[in-house]
Structure 1
């Protein structure tokens, strides 16, 4: 009969093993109780491997060792004692393994976000907080969750008899904290309720939802806002309706990282809310500024302020240029110019453009100065900024004035044709402008070219007091030329004056005789006008 009972006990133990009813064997918390069944194995010693019931006095019987008290001890503690006693004189280096096959003692079950889940021995006057303590407390993932107590009711059913939120792992409801448990009660610690943070924040991701957590508090716990989001937007999205879809329930702009809308700042968050920090809106500034690039669109950002943020206009290349504001088209692709103004010494001429408020993705362009060119017989030829109302004479002054070689030359204004390729030349009476006899000093246009040509000349040679090259002024006659040369020497003859002139085809020299005596006698027609490169020769009157 004893043999049959032992066989039945083995079969029962195997069935129990297959069904994994020994759920508590995986925990370190379980303390053995009366009528529990344990399986003892000593490696290499089948005669010392057997199933054992814990007797009513809390002991088991072990061959050669006698009675061992195991009640209210863990499996590991019992293993250690048996190993020590066997090694004391029976087996060298024994390896003992004990597993729990069946429990008949009272217990409480702990599930969820605790240090160790499973069954713990039920003790008299055990409270919820005591049970959680035995389960090594609440994990970080449950510090803001919910604790529930469920109790058996009817045939295999359970109902929730108590529930409380947690704050930093502390049960908020004192009644639940001190609730007395019964055998087979289930204590569940649910995972903390969470929210999600996305976008321009230092630590995006999942965040535990504390009691009374506001948008501002959530941002602070996530490490605050990155520089790239200081002027962006904050949005709160929430699951709405039976379909479980998300909807934006709050939105506000940011100013230097501060939420503008107080209602959004203080909005209480709910489980699974998503807080989104959108990137700051930006604008672009290009062209003749010191620091071209992309900039954050701060509140009330005007064109003039944008230029200042970009380091101002480059002195040499933009002070007399143009400024344009280009903006995205609303209904179609591309950009359009919504404002432009000239610049004078770096100051925007039009007040409405200077104070224009920029919008997201606007492009501010500072165009290069418009210029003119001054060439020829000036002191410093080159390219010059086209200032407001710049005239031909002003451009020559900026170029250092006309050199001696150009004092009697022509001044031409060369301008691009408006109706096609090429240039048109206009002759300017610069001497008349300087003398005040001509009032029409032309205003220059972008890319005009002012050319000061070299003065046309003639040569005085022979019996004159100053031999040399002279500028050919307007309406210079032989008589005037002799005066410019200081008159005739004492050997010079008024009747022996000749003008040597190249023919039109530049192949021959023409000799023209001029009798100065006839001119002096009142015959001006005897005098002739000189042409460029003429040579006036005065011969001696001595034979």
Structure 2
């Protein structure tokens, strides 16, 4: 019994020692009995994991192993095992799954050319759109029936106790090679069968896979490219496509069927036999992709010529050219064209057919749609429905519901009025108008007595016909539109509707009441009406004068108005609101001042403002007066006798509107202080701005001079002195037209007499401006020749005259 127990313990120790060794290799004290050949691949991975966790090199491990009794020969084997690639770089007890990976596909370059030559052929848009394709989605799960072949690449992963992950290509012999497992033939079998085969092979080598402690996953990481041939397409030829590609994918790459190619009978040829007939209309009309089968290596897609095509135009939802199979009817053609649209005439369809010699026309009735078989070359034309109604009638005017109504035989005018929910209160019951369309499409008018028709008189209750238009008049239609006009001192002057019993008080309230400037005087102008002409009365209107109380907008007697009366509310004799002017600059109290009287002058306002300060420039007093809109209009209305092409008038108008906001009035303050009655003591208007400049000794020189600058004023120095001080006039400067603007806004210009030129006097704070010379057009050579001819002719005439 003891011997049996000892054998079991020794056997257990022998079986477990490699795993125990791998789990705690670095902590063992005796390594003399370690046999590296007995270590599994997982044991070696765990030793490598321990080395990585402790950041230990193989040289450090060698010194420790040799010191613990391990022989140099065994450690050399261990070093070789550790350096050699293994299933993975670690062996951990985890159940983590493989990381998500992206399937790859060799890029296929096929040039897609948009072809609009056959744009009317139904289905061509499926292949003419460059942005549309039928490429397989590489992110979808691999179809379990996918057949592997050379060029595919498998992602083999082992996870669990043991981990392994590697992309393995399928060789040209159809095999994959897994380290320590060997070669496995996978070509020609499905991915599902290959997965089972690979799992069985790995389980034979790694015990944890067979025991279930580790799992195996096989997926397709790279898809092979296959060669196929397209015949009869717009771009026929050999194509490289994905092994997951389908028939539609290949047709799209080839641009679809060619000019005369069929869309209904495309052949997929495999192994020299027709594998499938593809009808693209199943996809276009029904969305059925049963014909969109997967392709295989060396497949041929043959697009034969179409057998028959027909054309349908007009009022269908999808007009175009359609391919028809034998036995298909016009009803099926309508289905391809998505049916009639809402304006189609569906009772019959016109078709133009071809015979051996000429064309002929045929009408297909609606009952024959399911039996007529279209012939090749037929052109169907679906026309619009007629723009007329078979049972329409209309009523308009003074009824509660004017509208179109359905007509029935025997309908009378009283029936139509009842349908329109009766007459309105303002309806004119003596007469109604019926506009009737006669057989020759001309119109006639029939009058009806509504009162008698509605009271039961059958003779007056007119029988109606289709397309009759019944008009019920309103008594208001016969009344003239009366107005009254109010003007003057009311808030909302204008024209108002006249109503019966309208009074002056009513109109005043409607017009918003009187303004504060309204007087008690009211003048009413009334139209004179008479059947007889009175030559002794020269008056065109009658004038009525009344008085009212402005405080309460009421007159003493409520006066009744008549149509077309014109009421004028007069203004009180004296009613002026306070109006102001402003003064700025070097005065003691600048600001706004109310005009005290109608003759308020500059001197009065300056005196009210405390007078001038010591720093005031008495030569710099001026008034800025706003330009009113009516003044601009007057200037613009002046005829300058300029041609339409001359831009002077346009520039003048723009300058008046956009630049000239004020007019400047110079003031001679010295003359005013000596004589307040001097003409410079201007009477002010509301809105005037008085400006008093502060004293400034600088002289500004601007315009077309070499240097725009400000020169200190020197008493007695001339106009030329200041021009020379800025370097003189530049090449474009017009010196003889130079002018000066004084501080008070007054201007002066240089003048000349004979050979003498005088320049204006310069005063402090003035501004000298040199304008630009106008451009002059130079004479051409032809013009000089013309002048020469004229002078020669004159000279010849003079010589001839003195002979």
Larger strand percent: 1
Question: Structures share a fold, TM > 0.5?
Answer: no
Shorter-normalised TM-score: what interval?
A: 0.3 to 0.5
Larger relative contact order, structure 1 or 2 (CA cutoff 8 Å, min sep 6): 1
- Normalised by the size of structure 1, how large is the TM-score? 0.33
